[in-house]
Chain A
Amino acid sequence: MAKANFEVPELQQYLDVPAVTPGTMAHSSPFVSRPEFQEPLGFLGELPDDWQARALAKFGELLGKYRSLRVYLDSCVKCGSCTDKCHYFLGTKDPKNMPVGRQDLMRKVYRRYFTLAGKFFPKLVGAEDFTKEVLDDWYSYFHQCSQCRRCSVFCPYGIDTAEISMAAREIMDSIGLGQKYCNEIIAKVYRIGNNLGLPGPALADTLEGLEEDVYDDTGVRVRYTLDKKGAEILLVTPSADFFAEPHVDGLIGYGKVFHEAGVSWTVSSYASEGANFGMFIGSYENMRRISQRIRKAALDLGVKRIVFGECGHAWRVAYSFLNTLAGPWDFLDPRYPVPQHICEFTYGLIQEGKLNFDKSQNDDKVLTFHDSCNVARASRMGPRPGGQFDIPRAIIREVCNNYYDMDEETIRDRTFCCGGGGGLLTDDLMELRVKGAKPRVEALNNVMVEKGVTHMAAICAICKSQFTKVLPFYGMDMEQIVSVHQLVSNAIVLTPGDDDEDEDIDSDAEGEDDVD
C-alpha cells in the first residue's frame, strides 16, 4: 500500500454522504505558474498590484462572451440537488467542494459587482468583495474541480460547474495567477508538439520499438509510422500513449486494428498530442491554437481521415469543439465523421466482421469498465445518443469472456470521475486525487468483492495515469487498470502480411514520403 501523509478514506459498501466539514481542503492548492510558462500563452507573468480591477474587467468580458457563465451565475436557486454529487466533496467533506459551494465562490463576486441586489444588499444575497482572501479561495477550490460535469446531470437548470471553474481559471490566468502544471504543459505543446515534450526523433524511436516488439510477439509486421505523407489516417492520441503503462498497450492495439483494416495510418510529430489542456484553463484562444496544429498536420500530411486515440478530455475537444476550433474539415473524406474515435473505428470493423478475436487471451482477467467523464457527459460515439457507453462495452465484450458493470448509479452519465481530470493530475495535488478517487474506487471494490472483477478498463489517458497512481493508496494493484485497446490487442488475431519474412524493419523504407 502506498504511503500517504494524509488520511486515506475508508472504502464503504454503500455511497456514504459525509457531514459537511468546512475547511478540510483549504490547504490544498497547486504550484503557481511562473512568468516563463505564463507569457507564451498570452497571460500576465505575475500578479500585479491592480489585480482586482483587471480581474473584474476580465470577468465582465467573459460574462459577455459566454452565455453559460451569465445564465449559470443568475439561475442557481440553492436547491441542493448537486450537493452530494461531486466526488471531491464525497471524498473530502469540504462544503466548498459541493458544486454549488464552489460556484458560490464566484457567484458572490458576481453578485457584488454585476447585480443590483449585490450592490445594494450584499449581506442579504451573500455577495462579497473580491478580496485577496477570496482570490486565494478561488485558486484553491477552482483547482479542486476536475470539470467532470457530474453536477450538471442533476441540476434542474443544467448548471455546469466546469463552465464556472474554467472561467475562474481564465480570469486568474489573465491576472498572472496561473497553475504551473497546465500552463507549463501547454507551453511545451507550442515548443515541441506534445504535453510530455517528446521530440520527433524520440517518437520515431518509440514507434520503431513498438514495431519490433509486436513483430517479436506475433511474427506479423504491424506498422507504426511517424509523419508518413499520404497516409489515409492521421492518428491523434495523448502523448502518454507513447510510453506510459498501460497506455502504450492501447497504442499497440490501435496499430493492430489499423493493420487488420488494411488502412495506412500515421502519427504527426508536429501534432503528436491528443490532449488539449487549453480546455482545462478555460482558454478558447489556447484551445484553438492547440487544435489548429491538428489541422496543419492533417493538411501537411495529406490524410483523408482523423482518428483520436483513447483520451477523455481530448475526445471532448475533438468531438464537440474541433469543428468549431479548427474546422471546416471539407478537405477530408466526407464519408467519415471528423474526427472519429478509435472505438468507433474498431467497432465499425467488428460490425463488418473484419476482425477476428481469440477471447481466451483475456481469460486471466475479469473486466469492468470505467466511463470517463468527458466521454460520458460531453461527447458521443456512433450515430445514437449513448453510443459512448455502448460502443466501448460492446468492444470489451467482443474481446473478453468475463465482464461485469459496476453499480448502475456510478456508471454511464452518472459515472464518477477518476479524481485526476481537469488539469489536476499533478503530484502537488496528491491528497485531493486520492480522496477524489474514493467514490469510483468504492464501486470498483464492490464488484471486485461481489463479482471477482480483477481489472478495470478505461479509455482515457488521465484516468489510466490517475488510477495507476492512486489505486495503491487503497491497497489495490496499479496494474488493475488497463486500456480498452490493450484488451483488443491481446485478443486480436493478426493476418500475416507480405513483408513478415523481411529480416529487419526499415521504417525509412518509404523515406521519400517522410516529412520533418
Chain B
Amino acid sequence: MSFLTGLYAFLFYFATVVLLTGLVGKVVQYARTPAPLKIPTTPAPITTGGVVLRMAREVVFFESLFRGNKWTWIFGWVFHFGLFLVTLRHLRYFIDPVSLPIQLIQPFGIYGGIAMVLGLAGLWARRFLVDRVRYITAPSDHLILALLILIGVSGLAMSFLVHTDVVAVKDFFRGLMVFELHPLPADPLLLIHLLLVAGLMIIFPYSKLLHAPGLFFSPTRNQADNPREKRHIAPWAERLEQE
C-alpha cells in the first residue's frame, strides 16, 4: 500500500465523518429550534400537501429565484442540475453491479459536468460584473466557486484529456466502504480532483453550503397558512402562559 493511498483513505474517512456529523448536527439544531410564529410568505398553501408542492417547486425549479433574477436563475439552475447529473454518474464508483438507470445516465453525466462548469462561470462572472453582487461578495464566495469549478474542470479533463484507471478508482472507494485499502492510481488530475472533493465535503457544514438543508427548514416556505384554524405555539411561548 502506497503512502498516497493511505493518505487519501484517511482524507476521505475524515471528510465523511466531518460532513455527516456536521450536517446531522446542523439538521438536529434546526429541527430543535422552535419557530414560535406563523410566518409563511403569502400567498401560501393552506394544507401540508400544498406545502410539499411549494417546497418541491423551490427545490427542483428554484421558483423564487426565477421570479427574482433570470440570469442568476439560469446559471444557478444549470449548475445545480448539472451537479445532480454528475452526482448520479458518479454513483457507479460506489455500487456494483451498476443499475440500469445509472448506466443510462452516464453520457448525460458528462453533459452535466459541462453544464455545471458553464453555470458556475456565469455565477462567478456576475460577482465581478454586477455592482450589487460585487458589493456582497466575500473572499469565501470566490473560493467556493473556484473550488467547484476546479472540481468540474479536473473531472472533465479526466473524461476528455488524460484518462485515469477508473476501475482502480472504483476498487479504492468500494474498498473504503468495507474498510479495506485498495491502491489509488497516482494520477495528478485524479489526486487534485479527489482532494478538492474532500475539501468540499469538509467545508459543507461550516459554510453557506448549508443553504441545502436550510431551505427545508425555512419557516417562510415550509409553513402552511392556517393560523386561524389551528393554534400554533412554541414550547417556550407556552411557558409564558403558565406565568
Residues of A whose CB lies within 8 Å of any CB of B are 17, 19-20, 22, 63-68, 70-72, 74-85, 95, 98, 100-101, 104, 115-117, 121, 123-126, 149, 152-160, 163, 284-285, 288, 319-321, 323-324, 327-328, 337-339, 376-380, 384-386, 388-389, 413
Q: How many residues of B contact A (CB 8 A)?
A: 64
- By a CB distance below 8 angstroms, the chain B residues around A284 are 36-37, 237, 240
Q: Does B33 contact A (CB under 8 A)?
A: yes
A81 touches B42 (CB 8 A): no
Question: B68 contacts which of A85, A123, A160, A389 (Cβ < 8 Å)?
Answer: A85
* Pairs of residues from A and B, 9 with the lowest C-beta to C-beta distance, nearest first: A154-B68, A75-B214, A81-B68, A158-B220, A385-B43, A126-B138, A83-B132, A80-B133, A158-B221
A70 touches B135 (CB 8 A): no
B131 touches A66 (CB 8 A): no
A155 touches B68 (CB 8 A): yes
- By a CB distance below 8 angstroms, the chain B residues around A77 are 141, 208, 211
- By a CB distance below 8 angstroms, the chain A residues around B228 are 319, 323, 337-339
Q: Take A20-B132, A67-B217, A70-B30 as given contacts and tell me if A377 and B37 are in contact as well, using a CB distance cutoff of 8 Å.
A: no
B220 touches A160 (CB 8 A): yes
Residue pairs across A and B with CB atoms within 8 Å: the count is: 217
Q: Take A154-B65, A285-B240, A324-B38 as given contacts and tell me if A78 and B133 are in contact as well, using a CB distance cutoff of 8 Å.
A: yes
Q: Does B53 contact A (CB under 8 A)?
A: no
Question: A124 contacts which of B42, B68, B143, B214 (Cβ < 8 Å)?
Answer: B143
Q: Does B155 contact A (CB under 8 A)?
A: no
Q: How far is the CB of B222 from chain A (nearest CB, A)?
A: 8
B236 touches A71 (CB 8 A): no
Q: Take A158-B220, A158-B221, A324-B227 as given contacts and tell me if A78 and B136 are in contact as well, using a CB distance cutoff of 8 Å.
A: yes
A117 touches B140 (CB 8 A): yes
Q: How far is the CB of B136 from chain A (nearest CB, A)?
A: 5
Q: Take A78-B136, A284-B237 as given contacts and tell me if A70 and B211 are in contact as well, using a CB distance cutoff of 8 Å.
A: no
A and B contact pairs by CB, cutoff 8 A, 17 listed: A65-B33, A67-B30, A67-B217, A70-B33, A75-B218, A76-B211, A79-B69, A80-B133, A124-B139, A153-B67, A156-B64, A158-B220, A320-B37, A324-B237, A337-B228, A338-B228, A377-B41
Q: Could you tell me the distance between the alpha carbons of A64 and B236 in the complex, rounded to whole angstroms?
A: 10
A385 touches B44 (CB 8 A): yes
Q: How far is the CB of B227 from chain A (nearest CB, A)?
A: 5
- By a CB distance below 8 angstroms, the chain A residues around B62 are 156
- By a CB distance below 8 angstroms, the chain A residues around B214 are 71-72, 74-75, 157
B233 touches A68 (CB 8 A): no
B231 touches A323 (CB 8 A): yes
Question: B58 contacts which of A19, A71, A156, A328 (Cβ < 8 Å)?
Answer: A156
Q: Does B210 contact A (CB under 8 A)?
A: yes
Residue from A98, A117, A327, A385 with most neighbouring chain B CB atoms (10 Å): A385
Q: Take A65-B33, A117-B140, A124-B140 as given contacts and tell me if A158 and B38 are in contact as well, using a CB distance cutoff of 8 Å.
A: no
Q: Could you tell me the distance between the alpha carbons of A93 and B219 in the complex, rounded to whole angstroms?
A: 30
Residue from B140, B229, B237 with most neighbouring chain A CB atoms (10 Å): B140
B218 touches A81 (CB 8 A): no
Q: Take A327-B231, A378-B39 as given contacts and tell me if A385 and B65 are in contact as well, using a CB distance cutoff of 8 Å.
A: no
A19 touches B208 (CB 8 A): no
Q: Take A98-B136, A163-B39 as given contacts and tell me if A68 and B232 are in contact as well, using a CB distance cutoff of 8 Å.
A: no
Residue from B42, B69, B220, B228 with most neighbouring chain A CB atoms (10 Å): B42
B136 touches A101 (CB 8 A): yes
Q: Does B72 contact A (CB under 8 A)?
A: yes
| B223-243 Cβ-contact flags toward A at 8 Å (1 or 0) | 001011111111011001000
Q: Does B52 contact A (CB under 8 A)?
A: no
B41 touches A160 (CB 8 A): yes
- By a CB distance below 8 angstroms, the chain A residues around B217 are 67, 71
Question: A78 contacts which of B38, B138, B231 (Cβ < 8 Å)?
Answer: B138
- By a CB distance below 8 angstroms, the chain A residues around B130 are 80
Chain A residue at minimal CB-CB distance from B203: A117
Q: How far is the CB of A51 from chain B (nearest CB, A)?
A: 24
- With A20-B132, A101-B135 already in contact, 16 other A-B pairs whose C-beta atoms are closer than 8 Å: A20-B131, A65-B36, A66-B35, A74-B214, A77-B211, A78-B137, A152-B220, A153-B64, A156-B62, A157-B221, A158-B218, A158-B220, A288-B237, A320-B37, A324-B232, A385-B43
Q: Could you tell me the distance between the alpha carbons of A115 and B67 in the complex, rounded to whole angstroms?
A: 31
Chain A residue at minimal CB-CB distance from B130: A80
Q: Does B215 contact A (CB under 8 A)?
A: yes
Chain B residue at minimal CB-CB distance from A20: B131
B220 touches A68 (CB 8 A): yes
- By a CB distance below 8 angstroms, the chain B residues around A384 are 46
B residues 147-163 touching A (CB-CB < 8 Å): none
- By a CB distance below 8 angstroms, the chain B residues around A126 are 138-140
B41 touches A149 (CB 8 A): yes
Q: Does B29 contact A (CB under 8 A)?
A: yes
- By a CB distance below 8 angstroms, the chain B residues around A388 are 42-43
Q: Could you tell me the distance between the alpha carbons of A208 and B210 in the complex, rounded to whole angstroms?
A: 59
Q: Does B76 contact A (CB under 8 A)?
A: yes
- By a CB distance below 8 angstroms, the chain B residues around A158 are 41, 58, 64, 215, 218-221
Residue from A66, A68, A123, A157 with most neighbouring chain B CB atoms (10 Å): A157
- By a CB distance below 8 angstroms, the chain A residues around B237 are 284, 288, 324
Q: Does B34 contact A (CB under 8 A)?
A: yes
Q: Could you tell me the distance between the alpha carbons of A388 and B225 in the complex, rounded to whole angstroms?
A: 13
A76 touches B208 (CB 8 A): yes
A157 touches B232 (CB 8 A): no
Q: Could you tell me the distance between the alpha carbons of A236 and B225 in the complex, rounded to whole angstroms?
A: 22
